Structure formats: structure tokens, C-alpha cells
Chain A
Amino acid sequence: MNNEIDRLTELFRDILEKPDLILVPELDGKSEEKWDSFSHINLMIAVEEEFELTFTPTEIEESRNAENLVKIMAEKGSNIHW
């Protein structure tokens, strides 16, 4: 995993209040009950600020699993990969 994944993991840990969370592509709102619509908005705002990105409304909705989120971030120019 690269450093960008580590930075993203820290955001997940902080916002979902799970200090031991391991970010894996399979992580989504079904597997992590704290990842609800409220925390998702907080997470996306935090990702935008931390990685200096801007998501569209469709991308915000499609980012509700870690695999898609990382893919969308990479498409937006972030050097992030699993």
C-alpha cells in the first residue's frame, strides 16, 4: 500500500471512530455500520480537504465503498492505489 492509502486510512479511522480500522477495497456501508450517510459526508469533505479534490454529487454517492472511492480519487489525479 502507498502513503496515500495511509492518509486515507487515517481519515476513515478518525471519522468512523475506529482507531484500528484497516482500509481494504471491500469496506463499504454494509460491512461497516458506522459508515452511514452522515459519516459519509464528513468523510468526503475530509477527503476533499486532505487531498485537494472536488467530487461531483454522483461521485459522492458512488464512493460509498472503499474500492470505488480510491478509483475515483485516482481518476482525479491522486497518486493513490492499493
Chain B
Amino acid sequence: MVTHPSQSAAVTWQFSEQDQLWFANFSGDFNPIHVDSVQARRTLFGTQVVHGIHLVIGALNSICQNMTGLRKIVRLDTQFIAPVLIGDTVQLFVQDMSGDHEDQISWITNHGRNCAKMKVSFEQDTRQSINLPISVEKLVCHEASEEDYLHGGGSLPLFLNGAELSEKYPDLARVVCPLQIAQIIATSRLVGMQLPGLHSLYNGLSVEFSQSEPDAPSELTYQTLRYLPRYKRLKLSLASAGLTGTLEASVRPTPITQPKMAHITNLVQSKAWKSKRAIVIGGSRGLGEAAAKILAAAGAEVLITYLAGENDANAVAEDIRSAGGCAEVLRYDVLKPNEPDFKKLAAFGPDLVCYFATPKILLNTSGFSESKHDFYAQYFVTGMWNLVTGFLGANTGPFRLFNPSTNYIDNVVPGALEYAMAKADSEVLCNYMAEEFNNVSCCSRRLPPIKTDQSVSLLHKEVGDAVSELLPILLGDARSV
């Protein structure tokens, strides 16, 4: 049973974009969840996740800090309990930093909560010279199939850039056998690039090391031991020079796609928005994408805004145009609107503004956090206020505002308190603006959880679909004044 150590944290870390790229190059694990901010925003966590094995390497470096002589790892067990996101401040606790003990337990915590734990045992080593390449050919991130998960297997060549390691983690480079470091980092490349590959989460590693044969091949071989489809959980056997063990990884949900325009056109029989103009703030995916397509199918000329997903937004617009609709795309940041972009928006002269701007909603803490509430309120309240008052100042004419709210206001779920409060604030703001401003009418609707990137989960959940939820609203209550 692991209990928390009483010592103060050995190290506090905050991983940056540069750190992510450094470890991707060092390990060969370029999975987009680590290195691509645009693709990572469509995953479970909404942003880039720190490589789990990077945490392990950092923890080992700290453990080695006060060790003298050379060590060989005898056993390493690590579990990744919760993700560490880029920019998070995490703390490493080590049971004993004296360097006198060969068995060490360490924890990495994020806001007081364990996100990784590691047990490692060392023994004295007499270093053998090893000859590993400093790099190998970069793998293409593999989108594995169920068949791969069930019967996957293969091998990866080992490599280690000793100079990079010595510069970044000098104590680890000084103390621990380089072959073992190469083997440990190869497991990150295996999970992130090969199996499960593109849609992967690394859950844990358990390996034992023995004396390796001097001429053992410098590769890591792997084989599916067990795949549980109901949990999307894989267990792989591992073997390499002097190494045997297993790792566990999950297949994470793929980004949620909305129906194609051809399908939506068949559902929308009305031309209720013919000759009208609609701006969809945050229309590159999810609810915004569905709304843009419904409105276009109902005859509206649509302007779709995006923050980061330019390609996604262009794909939505292209789908609309290919079905005979009218759609344009514009980058617009509701938190930092710039003058030229805002002028283009205002010049569009909307009859309807659908406000889907939102950050990733992470339901992973409990209690109330003022800063978390303020974070959401920037999007749902301040951003909306600035947009609406900006339009009024630019004399765009009368328009209706659709504010997609949430039924979490009525049924607060753990971790969603601040999100629900900020959405409730947005409803109050809408009511105020409708009362106060002659040219604005508002429609707030409390929506249930809907199948989008926001609601994806590792667990099977029954949720509504975006088109079914939005269609009656956009062709009913939200119609123009």
C-alpha cells in the first residue's frame, strides 16, 4: 500500500511546449496528444499531455542526485493515474533522497492529487560499454485496429542520445546504465507510435532487469498478452536485452465527428433561414459545427469562426458549400478579439449569432474554485458581452443571440460546479441584454450532455447527438426576430 511521504517535494516541475518536443525527439514518441496542440485539443484532455515516461525519467534523475557510483535498475513499477497537462505545476515526492537506499518509492502530484507513482530498485553496477545509435528513423504514428490490439506484436530498435540526456538529466546519465534508459524510453515510443499508437494512453509499466548478454540485439520486442475490448485496455509483454516485463495502455476515444451536410440536408426540410445571415462562434467542430450545418441547410449564409482548428473549420465550410450552401470562415478569439477580425464579423451583419465559444470542460476536481469560475466566465460571460456590445457599437442592426447553456445548472455534477455557475451567469447576462438593448433578443437553452469532444469518456455513456438536440431549437425558438 502506498502512502504519502511526509517530506517536502523534491522537485517542482512545469512542462512547456519545448519540454514536450525535447522528450518527443529524445524518445521518438511524437504522438499528437503530446506535441500537437491542435490535435490534442480534440482528445479527452483538451490539451497536450506530458509523456508519462518523461515523468519517470525526471523522477529517476532526482533519485540519482545523491547516488555515487554506477547503478543498474533491478525492477521498475510505475502507474500513470491521471494526466499531467502542459503548463500544470506538479511536484515530485521521493521517499528518501539520501542516495543510501536501493529501493525507492516516488509520487508525482498535481494540486495535491497523485498522478503517477513509481517503485524502483537499484543495485551496484559495473558499466559495460554499449553501442546504441543516437537516433533511428522516425515512426509514423500508427492508427491501430482492433485486430492489432488483439494480436499485435513486433519490435522497435533502441536508441539513446547520451549527449542530450547528460545535458537535461545529468544525474540519471551519470548513474544508470544507458541501455536501461533506452529501453524505458522505447516503451513510450511503443505506446504512442505503435501499439495502441495514435489513440493511446499509457497506464503503467512493470519491468525486471537481469544481466544482459553482451551481444543481445538492441531492440524492444512486444506482444499483446491481453486485450479487454469493454475497457479498451491492452496489456503487452515486453522483452529486450536483460529486460522482461509488461505494460498497460488504453485506447482513448477518437475525436467525435458530426454528420455530413448531405445527411443534415435530408433532415432539414425547412428553409426558415433563407436570406438570413448567421455567425457561429466556435463552429469548427462539435455543437457549433452541427449548428452551422443545420442553419446552412435551412438556407442561412453562415460565417464560422474558429480559434485553433483552422483545418476543421475549413472542412465544415467546404462540406456546406459542396451541398450548395454558403459558408465562410474567420479566426476569432473571444478572449482577445482584434480589431480587423471584429470588423469582418460586424460587416457580415448577422441576423443570428450562435455563441459556442468554450474551453475544454474538465470535470476532475470537486469543491469551488474562484479562479476556475473566472476562467469559464471569461468565455461564457465576458466574451459574449464584448461581442454583443461590439456589434451594437458597430450598428450591425437587430440580431438574435443563441446561448447554449447546460442542464448541469439544474443537476450539478462533481467537478462541473464552476462551469455550471458560469453558464448560469451567461443566462443572466442574456436576460439583461435582451431587456436592456433594443436590437438584441436572446435565446438560452439548457442542453443535456451531447456527444462531442467535450463529452467523450473512457466509459460507455448514453448521451444525445448534436443535430437532434439543436435542430428543433435552431428551426424553432432561435429563429430570427
| Chain A residues at the B interface, C-beta cutoff of 8 Å | 13-14, 17, 19, 29-30, 33-34, 36-41, 44-45, 55-58, 60-61
Q: A38-B82, A40-B459, A41-B459 are in contact. Are A14 and B230 (CB under 8 A)?
A: no
A36 to B364, CA, bound (A): 7
| Chain B residues at the A interface, C-beta cutoff of 8 Å | 1-3, 81-82, 113-114, 228, 230-231, 233, 250, 364-366, 413-415, 457-461
B230 touches A55 (CB 8 A): yes
Q: A29-B414, A36-B364, A57-B230 are in contact. Are A41 and B1 (CB under 8 A)?
A: no
B364 touches A60 (CB 8 A): no
From B1, B228, B458, give the contact of A37 (CB < 8 A): B458
A36 to B2, CA, bound (A): 19
Given contacts A19-B3, A39-B81, could you give 9 more A-B pairs where the C-beta distance is less than 8 Å?
A13-B1, A17-B114, A36-B364, A37-B459, A41-B233, A41-B459, A45-B231, A55-B230, A60-B460
A50 to B442, CA, bound (A): 55
* In the complex, chain B residues whose CB is within 8 Å of the CB of A38: 81-82, 458
A30 to B1, CA, bound (A): 24
Listed by A's residue number, 20 A-B pairs whose Cβ atoms lie within 8 Å are A13-B1, A14-B1, A17-B114, A19-B3, A30-B413, A33-B415, A34-B113, A37-B457, A37-B458, A38-B81, A38-B82, A38-B458, A39-B81, A41-B231, A41-B250, A41-B458, A45-B228, A45-B233, A56-B230, A61-B461
Number of A-B contacts (CB under 8 A): 45
Q: A36-B364, A37-B457, A61-B460 are in contact. Are A17 and B233 (CB under 8 A)?
A: no
For residue B260, give the distance in angstroms from its CB to the closest CB of chain A: 27
Q: A14-B1, A19-B1, A30-B414 are in contact. Are A44 and B457 (CB under 8 A)?
A: no
From B113, B114, B231, B365, give the contact of A44 (CB < 8 A): B231
* In the complex, chain A residues whose CB is within 8 Å of the CB of B81: 38-39
* Interface of B: prevailing SS: loop
